[in-house]
Amino acid sequence: MTLEMTIRVWNDLLMPTVRSTKPNPDEQIPVALAARIAGIDRSSLAHLVDHGLVPRLDLEAVRALAASGEVAAKTTDAPGHLVIRMDVAPAVQRIADMSDDELSNGVEGPHRLPDSSAGPDVLLCVRSFVIATGHLEGLGDPIPLRTDRRGREITGRAISVTIDHRLSDLTSRPSKAVENARWLGRRARVGTGGAVLPLQS
């Protein structure tokens, strides 16, 4: 082996391979990294992916999730919106595959509604992301749910919701949405508690 070949071999062994640092926009990003960039927890992002609400985890999708923004109630809102948090197992049915009627039936309850009066407008959310907007068509009669430690009866009501606007892909928000449709794909600010809560300011 000549000296030139020996040097070339040692250079290949010792010198690191130089690769392009330009990101590939079509490359799939791991869930943990994507969640960190988007500012949400890993389990929530995985839940959205399993439901088909985030079809791809490429660079463009993660950027869209990171720039989703937040929906908060205004002090001038009287009465405010109700936020309905959906909790459907992806193994049972993916939300992206549900029809509007199935979506409405999936949130009918019964629910313990907040004591404060709420307006007819509702926001349907999955892991705080607004996937649909609608309005209350009606409330059912009080139904006994359980009894607390003091023996008081806790009641709930079934709700009837009509879907007005819907978003099947959280990474492609409408650019010129009007009225409540402008909140699709954004995150709703709510407190802790049941599945139906008022939108917080």
- Structural domains of the chain, count: 1
Residue among 133, 119, 118 nearest 180 (CA): 133
Residue 91 lies in a domain: yes
pLDDT at 172: 84
Host domain of residue 99 = 69-198
| pTM value surpassing 0.95 | no
Residue 180 lies in a domain: yes
pLDDT at 53: 92
Spatial separation of the C-alpha atoms in residues 123 and 161, rounded to whole Å: 10
DSSP class of residue 142 equals -
3 state DSSP class of 126:
strand
Q: What number of other Cβ atoms are within 10 A of residue 189's Cβ?
A: 15
Residue 53 lies in a domain: no
Residue 175 lies in a domain: yes
pLDDT per residue rounded down to tens, the chain (201 residues) = 554 564 455 455 555 544 445 556 567 888 888 888 888 889 999 999 999 999 888 888 888 888 888 777 665 555 568 888 888 888 888 999 999 999 988 888 788 876 554 567 888 999 889 999 998 888 788 888 888 788 888 888 888 888 999 998 998 877 766 777 888 888 888 777 677 777 776
Residue 22 lies in a domain: no
CA atoms within 13 A on the CB side of 102: 9
Residue 187 lies in a domain: yes
Angle at 78 between CA 189 and CA 102, to 5 degrees: 55
Residue 51 lies in a domain: no
